Structure 1
Amino acid sequence: MSLESAVTYLLAIFLFAITPGPGVFALIATGMNAGFRRCLPMAAGMILSDVLYLLLATFGLATIAEHWGEVFGVIRILGALYLFYLGWKLWKAPVQSAEVASPGQSGGNLAGVAQGFLISASNPKVILFYIAFLPTFVDLERLGGSALALLVVLTVAGLMAGLCLIAASAARARRALRSPRAQRRLNRGAGSLMIGAGALLIAKS
């Protein structure tokens, strides 16, 4: 991979990370409800899922998706139901314990990683991205170990930059609204984003 291709790929991954979708909406909801730090485990889980799909793409993800389409469909439905559940929790969260009810905080950092992984892994957009987009940068059939390692590093860097930008923006909005009424609106707004993210997953084929 040339320097120009590497920079272009890094920029494309960054833009992909900030493109609205279930994962972005879930991250915004967590940042609005619990702050920037609680977004980090979720972002790590999302990145882990993307790296997994990147590695699978080098071993024929298109073939896997074709023969295991029903399995991916079940994962997508489970991910959507999980987002509905998180959205409902945020809607019902009392103002005085809003942070305790945060989807990114419940269960600790490991749970946040698992949540982010499930949300990203169940998103067909992620699968299609690596099937259709990645081959435009590298020849997957001739991809060596060093080139694959570079792709992983670029993917992690681009995704982390984009997801952290989203999380920081959502957390900044949270800090600006401190009154009980504003917190209640934040909870319900974040819950609506979670439910909307689940609806997007249901709607995707």
Structure 2
Amino acid sequence: MTTMSLLDVILLFSVMSLLALVPSASVALVVTRSSTAGFPHGAAVAAGIVLGDLVFVCLAVLGLAVMAEAMGGFFVVVKYLAGAYLIWFGLSLLRAKRPTLAGTRDRSTSSLTVSFFSGLILTLGDIKAIFFYASLFPAFVDLSSISATDLASIVVITLLAVGGVKVGYAYAGVRVASLAGGRGAGRGAKVAAGGLMIGVGAYLVAKA
């Protein structure tokens, strides 16, 4: 039995898609490898990034589920703190300056395995991602009674949202290498993601 509603699934997918769209080091790597070594390399980097995200997703969800069971009612406090963090994160996105892709170009055409592991290592090196996921998921699933269906749903959402966006960037990198650094697109994605994160944070606080 799942504890995630259709609205929860839609909101989680939207949040993860928008955040994957925000120009970042991972986007720069996908676009660079795709534009300099071909689409398969960009897609391989995207696959590595998704695998890294899935590692963090599972660690966050399973770890929080254990915490919720052990802490009982006190876990409500954790939800309030998580909501406050998401609101702060959204505000920081709204205030952030546009990142640049300058200096990230790499003309090497190494193996797809190297491209894959470059995406994986880049993602796993961002340890703060697990704290972000730990703040995000309580808004969408009751971690004290999470089911295998819930976990499977979150994994599928991660694959479709993060993987879909990163592969899209890989394709765009072949067509227009500078697309990920576009001023209007980058700023628009940050505003949308920031606003949605603030909304999710408020939703989490209200749901707690």
Change (3 A) 1:150 1:5: same
C-alpha separation in 1, matches of 2:56 and 2:172: 27
Q: Name the SS for the 1:37 alignment partner.
A: helix
Shift of 1:59: 2.7
Q: Which runs of 4+ in 1 moved over 4 A?
A: none
The alignment's TM-score, normalised by the length of structure 1, stands at: 0.61
Matched residue, 1:25: 28
Change (3 A) 1:166 1:122: same
Pick from 165, 168, 172 the counterpart of residue 169 of structure 1.
Answer: 172
Matched residue, 1:52: 55
C-alpha separation in 2, matches of 1:88 and 1:120: 16
Alignment of 1:120-131 (within 5 A): 120-131=123-134
1:34 and 1:171 in contact (8 A); partners too: no
Matched residue, 2:6: 3
1:110 and 2:113 equivalent? yes
Any stretches of 5+ residues in structure 2 without a counterpart?
A: 67-102, 178-208
Change (3 A) 1:169 1:155: same
Identity of aligned residues (%): 28
C-alpha separation in 2, matches of 1:2 and 1:116: 32
Count of paired positions: 140
1:53 and 1:130 in contact (8 A); partners too: yes
C-alpha separation in 1, matches of 2:49 and 2:104: 22
Matched residue, 1:94: none
Shift of 1:153: 0.6
- Considering only aligned residues, what root-mean-square deviation do their CA atoms show, in Å? 2.6
Deviations 1:6-65 (A, max 9, x none): 11111111111111221111112112212222111111111001011110012327x9xx
Any stretches of 5+ residues in structure 1 without a counterpart?
A: 64-86, 91-97, 175-205
Change (3 A) 1:89 1:24: closer
Deviations 1:155-188 (A, max 9, x none): 10111111112111111025xxxxxxxxxxxxxx
Shift of 1:125: 4.8
Matched residue, 1:40: 43
